[in-house]
């Protein structure tokens, strides 16, 4: 099942060569500026599955527009950002999130900066604490 979903996504991606981006159409924006701001922030995190590396906020593809409507409808219904993310992931898979959730399979993704800083700090500490006093043979 996952395989089929993956395949469709790949096929759709290769079909689309749209490069110019158009973002939202007139009348799409919500009248409440705070809700609209949340809608924009959420949309920027959701991948347009039929585009090349574009968020639904940047794309004028039909699927992106549908998702923008979905996000705004749910926001107006009073759902939280997390609830909406969960709902979209349930329908399209984790691939739709441009910022993957933290978890076992994304541990290294999120931790790499910290790991490098830690290792670098450790290296610097060693270097500064025990400066080599003799040439290494």
Partner 1 sequence: MIAEIGHFVLVMAFGVALVQAFVPLWALYRGQSYGRFLAKRAAQLQVVLLAVSFAALTYGFLRSDFSLVIVYANSHEAKPWIYKFAGVWGNHEGSMLLWTLILAAYGAFFAQRSLALPDRFATMVLVVQGWLGSAFLAFLLFTSNPFARLLPAPFAGRGLTPILQDPALAAHPPLLYAGYVGFSMSFAFAIAVLTTDQPSRDWAKWMRPWILAAWIFLTLGIALGSFWAYYELGWGGFWFWDPVENASLMPWLSGTALLHSALVAERRDTLKRWTLLLAILTFSLSLAGTFLVRSGVLTSVHAFANDPERGVFILAILALFTGGALALYGRYLPRLSEDRSFAPVSREGLLLANNIFLAAATMTVFIGTIYPLVLDALNLGKISVGAPYFNTVFGPLTLPFIILLPLGPLLTWQAGKLIAPINGLLIAALASLLVVLGLWITQAGVPLIALLLIGGAIWLTLGALADLAQRLRPYGWQILRQPWRLPATAFSAPLAHAGLAIMIIGVIGASMWQSETVVAAKAGETMEVAGRQLRFDGVREVEGPNYQAEQGQISYLSGPHKGKVLLPERRFYQAERGQTTEAAITSDISGHLYAVIGEAVAEKRVLRLWFHPLVALIWIGALLMALGGSFALRARMSKSGQGAA
Of 12, 13, 30, 35, which one interacts with partner 1 (CB under 8 A)?
A: 13
Query: Is residue 58 a contact residue for partner 1 (CB under 8 A)?
Result: yes
CA neighbor of 18 nearest in space, from 43, 50, 56, 44: 50
User: Judged by CB under 8 A, does residue 29 bind partner 1?
Assistant: yes
Structure-token pair, residue 75: 């926001």
Distances from the Cα of 33 to the Cαs of 58, 80, 95, in angstroms?
19, 16, 29
43-80 residues labelled b (16+ CB within 10 A) or e (exposed): bebbbbbbbeebbbbbbbbebbbebbebbbebbeeeee
The interface mask with partner 1, positions 107-126, x = CB under 8 A, is: -xxx-xx--xx--xx-xx--
Q: What is the closest distance, in whole angstroms, from the C-beta atom of residue 62 to partner 1 in the complex?
A: 14
- Tokens 């909406």 belong to which residue? 84
* 68 near partner 1, rule: CB under 8 A: no
The reply on whether position 8 binds partner 1 by CB under 8 A is no
Interface ranges with partner 1 (CB under 8 A) = 6, 9, 13-14, 19-29, 37, 44-45, 47, 52-53, 55, 58, 93-100, 105-106, 108-110, 112-113, 116-117, 120-121, 123-124, 127-128, 131-132, 134-137
């Amino acid at each position: 099942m996952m395989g089929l979903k993956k395949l469709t996504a790949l096929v759709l991606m290769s079909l689309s060569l749209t490069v110019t981006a158009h973002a939202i159409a007139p009348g799409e924006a919500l009248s409440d500026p705070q809700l609209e701001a949340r809608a924009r922030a959420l949309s920027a995190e959701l991948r347009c599955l039929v585009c090349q590396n574009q968020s639904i906020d940047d794309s004028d593809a039909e699927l992106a527009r549908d998702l923008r409507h979905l996000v705004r409808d749910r926001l107006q219904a009073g759902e939280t950002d997390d609830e909406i993310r969960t709902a979209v992931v349930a329908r399209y898979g984790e691939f739709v999130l441009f910022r993957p959730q933290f978890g076992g399979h994304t541990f290294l993704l999120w931790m790499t900066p910290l790991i490098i800083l830690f290792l670098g700090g450790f290296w610097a500490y060693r270097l500064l604490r025990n400066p080599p006093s003799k040439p290494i043979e």
